[in-house]
Amino acid sequence: MADLSVSLCGINLKNPVIGASGTVGFGREFDEIYDISVLGGLSTKGLTLEPRPGNAVPRIAESRGVILNAVGLQNPGVESFIEHDLAWLQGKGIAVIANVAGSTLEDYEKICARLDGLVDMVELNISCPNVRCGGMALGIRPENVKEVTRLSKGALKRTPLMVKLSPNVESIAVNARAAEEGGADCLSLINTLTGMAVDIERRRPVLANNTGGVSGAGVKPIAVRMVYEVAHAVSLPVVGMGGITCAEDALEFIMAGATAVQVGTANFTDAMAMPKIIEGLNAWCDRHGVERLADLRDTLTLN
């Protein structure tokens, strides 16, 4: 039995496996299938100040080895989460990470102030379109990344801040440094890559939104490369994700420099994916005589 626990910004996770934002809701549905207290943590569906209805359907499409989604941040709003779901989720004894989004800089500041001290960590989703940037995501330009991080950090007196980086950028390492300068406590990556799938019979994009975020097994090599670059560009802990389906995938991220990992799309393919990954990490460590999983972090030697 290896020690799978990891420490992230002073928070102890019993293992490095975190449910990725948007794929596990607030945990209740997966808890009907297995006890989610086995997880290291859970990142909530992206929360906004007010409830949001989200996009038209279809919101999901499939392409070889990947999926595309355009949910459009449907969520019941931060107050509903605090009132109805937070206490239940905390009762599960896992790290509760509130994933937040906004359409203005002020939104981010307000929602962070509201969640300060209530959750274990706040994760900033800066990949959604923002009015401040004329509809472009705040997460694209380094100066915007720094600004939204600085304002959010200013509103968080007691809760560590994780900034989730978008891969749809010129240099993810440059944006990582911008988040570090803005005061981020840790970074997570990658959010989805922008893509399109076409229904050739109708000669229309499959998604009602035309474009959507690509995730799932096929994005893993891109995600691992980016995690490696970011982990070596900043001195902050990094949470890696993108296409993780099994323990071996998670280990690639950890060896490339990630302290913990998030698992998203794999939960759709296999509802038991996360418990299986946790068991698999333990089995791998045992087979390789590794006593502490944390010792594997950043052990990659380049060729």
Partner 1 sequence: MKEVLATVLANAPIAEGVYSMTFSAGTPMPVRAGQFVNLGVGDGAHLLRRPIAICKAEGENITVCYQLKGEGTRLLSRLPVGGKVSVLLPLGNGFFVREEEKKIALVGGGVGIFPMISVLREYVPKGKEIYSYIGFRNKNAVCCLDGLEKSTALTVVTDDGSYGKKMNAVQAFATDMDRVKPDVVLSCGPVPMLRALKEVMQGTGIPCYVSLEERMGCGIGACLVCVCNKTDGAHARVCKDGPVFNIEEVIL
Ligand X SMILES: Cc1cc2nc3c(=O)[nH]c(=O)nc-3n(C[C@H](O)[C@H](O)[C@H](O)COP(=O)(O)O)c2cc1C
Residues annotated catalytic, as ranges = 128
DSSP three-state, residue 197: coil
User: Contact between 81 and partner 1 (CB under 8 A)?
Assistant: no
Tell which one of 11, 14, 30, 89 touches partner 1 (CB under 8 A).
30
Q: At a CB cut-off of 8 Å and minimum separation 6, what does 204 contact?
A: 198
Complex with ligand X: residue 2 or 197, whichever CB lies closer = 197
Stretch in the footprint of partner 1 (CB under 8 A) among 9-17, 67-75, 89-97, 155-163: 67-75
- Using an 8 Å Cβ cutoff, are 243 and 213 in contact? no
E strands, the chain, in order: 6-8, 11-13, 17-19, 41-43, 60-63, 66-69, 95-100, 121-125, 161-164, 186-189, 193-195, 198-199, 204-205, 212-215, 238-240, 260-263
Site map (CB under 8 A) of partner 1, residues 165-204, x = contact: ----------------------------------------
CA distances from 8 to 12, 107, 185, 202, 300 (A): 6, 26, 9, 48, 20
Which residues, numbered 270-299, are part of the site for ligand X (CB under 6 A)? none
Q: At a CB cut-off of 8 Å and minimum separation 6, what does 202 contact?
A: none
Q: Of partner 1, ligand X, none, which one sits near residue 138, judging by CB under 5 to 8 A according to partner kind?
A: none
Complex with partner 1: residue 24 or 126, whichever CB lies closer = 24
Stretch in the footprint of partner 1 (CB under 8 A) among 63-71, 111-119, 142-150, 177-185: 63-71
CA distances from 13 to 7, 261, 265, 286 (A): 6, 11, 21, 19
Stretch in the footprint of partner 1 (CB under 8 A) among 19-27, 124-132, 167-175, 231-239: 19-27
Tell which one of 96, 169, 217, 293 touches partner 1 (CB under 8 A).
217
Which residues, numbered 100-159, are part of the site for partner 1 (CB under 8 A)? none
Residue 50 main-chain phi, psi, to 5 deg: -110, 155
What sign does the dihedral 215-226-238-82 (CA atoms) show? Answer: negative
Complex with partner 1: residue 83 or 270, whichever CB lies closer = 270
User: Contact between 21 and ligand X (CB under 6 A)?
Assistant: yes
Stretch in the footprint of partner 1 (CB under 8 A) among 6-14, 64-72, 134-142, 228-236: 64-72
DSSP 203: T
CB of 52 to ligand X, least distance (A): 10
Q: Of partner 1, ligand X, none, which one sits near residue 276, judging by CB under 5 to 8 A according to partner kind?
A: none
Tell which one of 39, 263, 281, 285 touches ligand X (CB under 6 A).
263
Q: What is the CA radius of gyration of the chain?
A: 18
Stretch in the footprint of ligand X (CB under 6 A) among 2-10, 20-28, 136-144, 288-296: 20-28
Tell which one of 3, 5, 38, 74 touches partner 1 (CB under 8 A).
74
Distance CA 211, CA 127 (A): 14
Distance CA 292, CA 303 (A): 25
Site map (CB under 8 A) of partner 1, residues 265-284, x = contact: x-xxxxxx------------
DSSP three-state, residue 51: coil
Contact set with ligand X (CB under 6 A): 20-23, 45-46, 69, 71, 73, 99, 125, 164, 191-192, 215-216, 219, 241-244, 263-266
